[in-house]
Structure 1
Amino acid sequence: MNIKKIYTKEIKKDARELRLQGWSYKKIGNKIRVPKSTLSTWLKDTPLPLKFKERLYTKQIKMMTKGEFSQKDRRNKEITSIIKKAKSEIKKPIGLDAYRFFGAALYWAEGSKNKMFQMTNSDPYLVLFWIKWVEKIFKITPHKLTVRLNIYPQQSEKNIKKFWSDLTKIPVANFGKSYVKPLSTNYKKNNLYYGTLRIEVPKGTDYRHRVYGWTQAILKDIAPQVKLIEKRWQKLKNVAKPINLN
């Protein structure tokens, strides 16, 4: 059986005075030992003064912002810890086979699939790694490579060439005619500050075939399954080519 607690007029008066002083229901309840639900009934006709409303609102915003930043900070620390642990899992120096396979997989994903032995990318880390990989695996120095830039009209072709030459040690004289892309609405979203660099190994067809052979070796175990499923779904390739009416 629930027995309703009876409060004195003095307690109700204290609650009203504290409210007029800007106290929150929670703080008042802790002070005079009265549930928040009871206080809301008592004080429904005793609104919080405007100056205290503004102060309370500001405090709530600060608490919300602090919580948001603390959560973001906590997540950033977690990510930093994950990356640090992952770095320790890579033992150096990296063996030649692992190094060769990594470069081959990179070319398989990002390199040219036509007759040329080319890599096109805008990431300075990836570009420099691949150039060093070509030099270490095939003994081809940067001075033998040829390159072309893809840039936007408002970018400085001269300075971007100097940047890539400084990074890769490929002479500026090895840069061919740049391709200047027309402006587009999503230019700002791309943030390709250094343009896009296409690196070509002259007379590199045989090197490309060797890389292809290495990737086949890496994928050997899954090749039968891929071929089986592709054969089963051969009908997906039996699609009429679109007709160009222009």
Structure 2
Amino acid sequence: MTEELTKYGDFEGLRAQAVALRREGLSRRQIRDRLQLHNNVLLNRLLEGEPAPEWTKRPRAKDDLRARARELRLEGKTYDQIQVELGCSKGSISLWVRDLPKPPRRSREDASAIARRGWEATLQRREAERQETRNAARQETASLSNRELFLAGVALYWAEGSKSKPYRRSERVSFINSDPDVISVFLAWLRLLGIPPEQLKFHVNIHETADVPEAEHFWRNHTGAAASRFGKTTLKKHRPLTIRKNVGGNYRGCLAIHVLQSADLYRRIEGWWYGIVGAALSPEPQIRT
């Protein structure tokens, strides 16, 4: 420090310059560069007791929560009680109030009840965050061009549709899925390709212990297809030792969609897919924004 003062001159004179610059609104870095100081300890001494200008203070999104958490802690609230009221994590609460006195101990039953409410509040907050993220993402794809739907349909078919194998040649467009939304997108894609309704055949695949008539009725309504377009339902035999999770009122099995006379369409789908693969994997991908 003495060597630095010898280099920079009188301490009081240097402090007067630093304080004057600080009051002009300069940041620490600006003062350091203006006075050509390279010793942070000396700079701290020169600016001791001098508040930073407002523009250098970073606003913190959780300042209000922190202030409220401290108020609740001073009222004798536990971390769990503060979490219930504010919906923030106990880790953050601990950082905000750790210098404050601890409230008196509570009974185990009271502590458990408060902890449960705190966890429920945390789960609600997390679910709200999930929904906010999902809704924001949904807006990003709320509208599709025909080409975007076309490409999405090609990828969807190649992920979920039947494919010809070297050991089992079958150039036929068949698609099966249990998700009604996936079925809707696939049917929209077929309409985009100009496939007429009379070229489609449907089959329900479902476990024999389910409500088969209700499932058949659901898929007919969902697709809007005539009953004559539905073939015989395929029933999966019940195995008593198997623990099934796809049960309940929302279980409606899978819907298989077959496009009749579709060998040429299958070959085009295969070509479209490998065109996408080639464009994506080429050294200079042919991607248009």
TM bucket, shorter chain: 0.5 to 0.7
Q: Post-superposition shift, 1:222?
A: 4.8
Would the aligned equivalents of 1:143 and 1:169 in 2 still touch at CA under 8 Å?
no
**Partner Cα separation in structure 2 for residue 91 and residue 149 of structure 1:** 30
- Of 233, 253, 259, 1:195 maps to 253
For 1:169-188, what aligned pairs fall within 5 Å after superposition? 169-184=224-239, 185-186=241-242, 188=244
So what's the TM-score if we normalise by structure 1?
0.63
Match of 2:266 in 1: 208
Higher RCO (CA < 8 A, seq sep 6+): 1
8 A Cα contact 1:152 1:195, kept in partner? yes
Q: Is the 8 A contact 1:148 1:178 kept in 2?
A: yes
Name 1:65's counterpart in structure 2: 116
Counterparts of residues 76-155 of structure 1 (less than 5 Å): 76-90=127-141, 92=143, 94-114=144-164, 115-137=171-193, 139-155=194-210
Q: Deviations over 1:153-191 (max 9, x none)?
A: 222333322211111012222222222111134453123
1:121–1:197 CA contact under 8 A, matched in 2? yes
Q: Give secondary structure in 2 for the equivalent of 1:155.
A: coil
User: Is the Cα contact below 8 Å between 1:148 and 1:199 reproduced in 2?
Assistant: yes
TM-score (norm 2): 0.54
Structure 1 residues 107 and 172: alpha-carbon distance in aligned structure 2, compared to 1, 3 A threshold? same
Rounded Cα–Cα distance in structure 1 between residues aligned with 2:211 and 2:114: 47
Closer/same/farther in 2, CA of residues 123 and 91 from structure 1, 3 Å limit? closer
Distance (whole Å) between structure 1 residues aligned to residue 242 and residue 137 of structure 2? 34
Contact 2:146 2:192 in 1 (8 A): no
What CA deviation, in whole Å up to 9, does each residue of 1:28-48 have, x standing for no partner? xxxxxxx99xx9xxxxxxxxx
Q: Which moved more, 1:127-136 or 1:142-151?
A: 142-151
Identity %: 28
CA contact (8 A) 1:161 1:172 kept: no
- The offset of 1:223, in angstroms, is 4.9
- 5+ long unaligned stretches in structure 1: 1-34, 40-52, 226-246
Is the alpha carbon distance of 1:193 and 1:87 closer, same or farther for their aligned partners in structure 2, counting shifts above 3 Å?
A: same
